Amino acid sequence: MNDDLYFIPIIIEAFKQPDKSSALKKAFEQIEQLGKLDRYSQGWRQFCLFMNETLVSADNYSADQLQEKLINIFKRPEVFDITIEKNGIPIETLSFKYSGDSKTAKNIIPGSYKLIFESGLCIWQGTVNAEDVLQAGLKMAADDTGKEKRKPTKTVPLFSQAGEINFYASIGSGSMEIVIKKIRI
Amino acid sequence: MDTNNVSLLYDRTKTYKDLPLTKLAELIVQESDRAALNEFHDNRKLFRFGDNSAMLFADFVDSLCGSCWALKLVNSNYNLLEKARDHLIDRFCNLPTDQISQGPDCRYYFDGFLEQMHTLCLQKDINPLEKEVLSVKTLQQMAMRHFMYCIKESSRSLNPLRSRYQWHLNGDIIIVWMPLTITGNKRRLWLEEHIDDPDSNRPGEKQRIQQIIDSELGLGSINYMGDFKYTLSVDCGLEESQPSNTEDGTTVCDIAKAVVDEKAKNIHLMRPSVRILGRTTLRKLITRIFEQITEGCYDEKKLAQRFGLSQSSLTRFAGSRWQILANSRPPDLWSNLAHLLSKNGTAFSSIARSCGIWKKVQEVIRISG
């Protein structure tokens, strides 16, 4: 039996039986049981897509409704990614919502960084220095005793006031908080 | 398009990857810059939908055309869908560099994008990041719009009862589709009589004229005599179908026979790579696929070789392993089997529902999102 298409011979066999309803019921049970085995896990998922196709096929839509459905499914969601590159190598990708968002990348060490919007456009590039992200041991110990809010070591504007980047220092490596203002489009 | 515009002053020492999308489009439109076009298609992941990550134009078009909804929109006409896909890709890829180049010119489409961006940016005071977000959104909407146009265009081009006509209008040309029954100069006379106030510069004028032609003259269709027996064999239902014998004497069951009949009947709707086999060979191929799957010895590579298909063509047609994504669909043959099962009157769907299968199916599809 072909593991990925294991459900097809089972369905075919059910259709050969005189009592098709009962045979199909047993067939579905068998497909589900086998689908729990590792060997047939891909086949089970394929069966699910296959069954979904029967559902889509059975629904009656007008051409206009189908067109609208297709446009909605392939509509761009209101999110975008920004990839952080260090010395030309991508190190992390963060997702942002149009409604305004902030995300923090940790383990930032000194080096040359770029922020790349998902279209490929570079929205910021610069050098992160040791004093931006690395903290001396003595100072860290002092800060740990207090409860006051962490303050950035440096804040830089992002791409003509589209947001800002805040750098925070810590021992060994620091962090970079990317703040994006609400996208007004 | 103003090819003499030198105001761009693109700094060639910078790499293309640093350029905003509108700048890339300007280079394509104004300088016919193939490297900018390559940058757009090879490196810019501008498109996204659902929970998917951003993707290249070609991957987006594949997802779009590979969706179950696109296939339903074209009434399971794989041939039409493939043609529409090719048209859409041509519109954004084809950059004619000389007079003899055929097909659409992507510069017109990128120019349309720039015009739309220009209008939108005039209406809003936006920062450069917002402009880039607006660019990718506008471009995706444009690709979707053109996909719908390409389906219409492909549908017309596949109709053997119609042909293109170039209507010369005050120095401009409007290309429309007209029935073959109206020939030569009569086409011009018909258009002059039926189209009020034609203006080649008016936006959407071509679509307006085509709509008038379609509504006045109809689209036309062909009923093939040879299809009749296949229609009967399918309409008689699965239970009455007889097992068919294949060349090596083995038999396939009723359901496979019904799929074989349906595919042979609708061979004109299939992808060109499979359609080229012809009805008889296609019947043999599908029968053999079902036999091998039932016997547990399905060998796609050997079967492709034996029937003179490329492996990728056979994979698209009846591959044994496919990607599970929400809104995607199985390969053509399995998709077709699913359609047949949902329509055969054996209450396949209701039995599946009573077994609790639907809930699990939806869960897997949702997770695969």
**Lookup: tokens for B164:** 């293109």
B315 assigned to some structural domain: yes
**H helix intervals, chain B:** 21-31, 34-43, 57-65, 68-73, 78-93, 106-123, 128-157, 184-194, 205-217, 227-235, 254-265, 272-275, 278-295, 300-306, 311-318, 332-343, 348-354, 357-368
Q: Are residues B291 and B213 in the same domain?
A: no
Q: Are residues B34 and B149 in the same domain?
A: yes
Q: Are residues B138 and B212 in the same domain?
A: no
> What are the tens digits of pLDDT across the range A87-115?
989 999 999 999 989 999 999 999 999 99
The residue in chain A having the minimum alpha-carbon distance to the alpha carbon of residue B347 is A21
A11 assigned to some structural domain: yes
**Lookup: tokens for B281:** 């060979």
B129 assigned to some structural domain: yes
> Among candidates A74, A49, A52, A50, which has minimal Cα distance to B64?
A74
Range of the domain at A24: 3-73
**CB atoms A2 and B298 under 8 Å:** yes
CB of A83 closer than 8 Å to CB of A96: no
Q: Are residues A47 and A86 in the same domain?
A: no
Residue B211 phi/psi, 5-degree rounding, is -65, -40
**CB atoms B330 and A49 under 8 Å:** yes
The shortest C-alpha distance from B290 to chain A (Å) reads 8
The vertex-A128 CA angle with B17 and A169, nearest 5°, equals 135
CB of A6 closer than 8 Å to CB of A44: no
**CA B322 – CA B191 distance, rounded (Å):** 49
Per-position pLDDT tens, chain B of length 369:
333 333 344 444 457 877 889 999 999 999 999 999 999 999 899 999 988 889 999 999 999 998 988 988 888 888 899 999 999 999 999 988 755 567 789 999 999 999 999 998 887 788 889 999 999 999 999 999 999 999 988 887 887 788 889 999 888 888 888 888 898 889 999 999 999 889 888 877 887 888 888 878 876 655 444 333 333 333 333 333 343 443 333 334 577 888 888 888 888 888 888 888 888 899 999 999 999 998 888 999 999 999 999 999 999 999 999 888 777 889 999 988 888 888 765 578 788 888 888 788 877 776 665
Share of chain A above pLDDT 70, in %: 92
Q: Are residues B240 and B359 in the same domain?
A: yes
Q: What is the ipTM of this complex?
A: 0.81
The shortest C-alpha distance from A131 to chain B (Å) reads 28
**CB atoms A53 and B327 under 8 Å:** no
Q: Are residues A122 and A156 in the same domain?
A: yes
Q: Are residues A83 and A101 in the same domain?
A: yes
The pLDDT assigned to A1 comes to 67
Give Cα separations from A113 to A80, A154, B115, B292 (angstroms). 19, 15, 34, 56
The vertex-A12 CA angle with A8 and A13, nearest 5°, equals 115
Q: Are residues B175 and B253 in the same domain?
A: no
* Length of chain B (residues): 369
A141 pLDDT more than 50: no
A50 touching chain B per CB within 8 A: yes
Listed by number, the residues of chain B in 74-103 with a beta carbon closer than 8 Å to a beta carbon of chain A are none
**Lookup: tokens for B15:** 């790499």
Range of the domain at B183: 162-217
Q: Are residues B274 and B300 in the same domain?
A: yes
Boundary-marking domain end, from A46, A73, A100: A73
DSSP category for residue B320: S
**CA B10 – CA B23 distance, rounded (Å):** 9
**CA A168 – CA B48 distance, rounded (Å):** 32
Q: Are residues B235 and B213 in the same domain?
A: no
Listed by number, the residues of chain A in 13-42 with a beta carbon closer than 8 Å to a beta carbon of chain B are 13, 15-16, 20-21, 24-25, 28-29, 32, 42
Give Cα separations from B362 to A48, B104, B357, B367 (angstroms). 8, 41, 9, 9
Q: Are residues A108 and A175 in the same domain?
A: yes
Q: Are residues B79 and B132 in the same domain?
A: yes
pTM of the model: 0.75
The shortest C-alpha distance from B295 to chain A (Å) reads 7
> What are the tens digits of pLDDT across the range B146-188?
999 999 888 878 877 888 899 998 888 888 888 888 988 899 9
Listed by number, the residues of chain B in 131-190 with a beta carbon closer than 8 Å to a beta carbon of chain A are 132-137, 140-141, 144, 148
**CA B138 – CA B293 distance, rounded (Å):** 46
The pLDDT assigned to B85 comes to 95
The shortest C-alpha distance from B368 to chain A (Å) reads 9
B276 touching chain A per CB within 8 A: no
B67 touching chain A per CB within 8 A: yes
Q: Are residues B180 and B205 in the same domain?
A: yes
Boundary-marking domain end, from B217, B239, B255: B217
A185 assigned to some structural domain: no
Strand bridging mode A154-158 / A163-168: antiparallel
The shortest C-alpha distance from A21 to chain B (Å) reads 7
B346 touching chain A per CB within 8 A: yes
The pLDDT assigned to B240 comes to 33
**CB atoms B21 and A15 under 8 Å:** no
Q: Are residues A92 and A172 in the same domain?
A: yes
Which residues in chain A are contacts of B45 at CB distance < 8 A? Answer: 118-120
Q: Are residues B206 and B175 in the same domain?
A: yes
The pLDDT assigned to B230 comes to 34
> What are the tens digits of pLDDT across the range A6-53?
999 999 888 888 888 888 889 999 999 999 999 999 999 999 999 888
